[in-house]
Amino acid sequence: PYLYPFPQRPAGLIEEAFGELGKRWKPILDVYEDNGVDVGYEIHPSEDVFDGATFEMFLDAVGGHKRCNINYDPSHFLLQQLDYLEFIDIYHERIKAFHVKDAEFNPTGRQGVYSGYQSWTNRAGRFRSLGDGQVDFGGIFSKLTQYNYDSWAVLEWECCLKHPEDGAAEGAPFIEHHIIRVTEKAFDDFAAGTTDKKMLRAMMGI
């Protein structure tokens, strides 16, 4: 009931709520720390932590705990119209797991992000099988590779149209196709040569 800021929320309610979350989760995170395990929170609409801003509030509430991390799911961000690629730029150090899940958002004159209490099939925002939605997985896998992500890429499937067995059969090779083998050298290394200080100064005209 407090998702939208009208009517006004009671002053201090959100701060008190996140403070309570911090008190309850900090001891749990400490146990994870004792056992060398990260916690990846799936940032999800209708939960306390549903976007980058709320994750930062939660992270502050647990004192920036090193085990407080993210299970990245771009489908939930697309349905919120959040920039899921820039999210990786901002939070890549905290992303420890990845749900590979597709979605689409097709607003109309009748419904938008909230989708008017419609069924999954008739919603403006709905989950789709991998490759059938609008998520830019090429961009996502490129960003994660850029930041040396080396953890799980897990197929999650909740399509409202396609049969689940077909989604699974198509999803595994879809993920395999997008995994990037990291290059060991620059594309133009062949043009590199040996130089010395005298040559460098000559190139500068001095």
Which SS3 state, helix, strand or coil, does residue 90 take? Answer: helix
- Contact 75/84 with Cβ under 8 angstroms? no
pTM of the model: 0.91
Q: Measure the CA–CA gap between 206 and 199, rounded to whole angstroms.
A: 10
Domain residue spans of the chain: 13-203
Give the model confidence (pLDDT) of 125-170 as tens digits.
Answer: 999 999 999 999 999 999 999 999 999 999 999 999 999 999 999 9
Q: In degrees to the nearest 10, what's the CA dihedral of 187, 193, 196, 199?
A: -100
Residues above pLDDT 90, as percent of the chain:
86
Binning pLDDT at 50, 70 and 90, where does residue 1 land? low
Binning pLDDT at 50, 70 and 90, where does residue 191 land? confident
Measured CA to CA in angstroms, residue 140 lies from 179, 198, 202 at distances of 10, 45, 44
What CATH number labels 13-203? Answer: 3.20.20.150
- The amino acid at residue 145 is T
pLDDT of amino acid 161:
98
pLDDT of amino acid 162:
98
Tokens of 123: 């919603």
Instruction: Identify the CA nearest to 175 among candidates 84, 83, 102.
Output: 102
Give the model confidence (pLDDT) of 35-52 as tens digits.
Answer: 999 999 999 998 999 999
Helices (H), the chain: 13-34, 52-61, 74-80, 84-91, 137-146, 164-178, 197-203
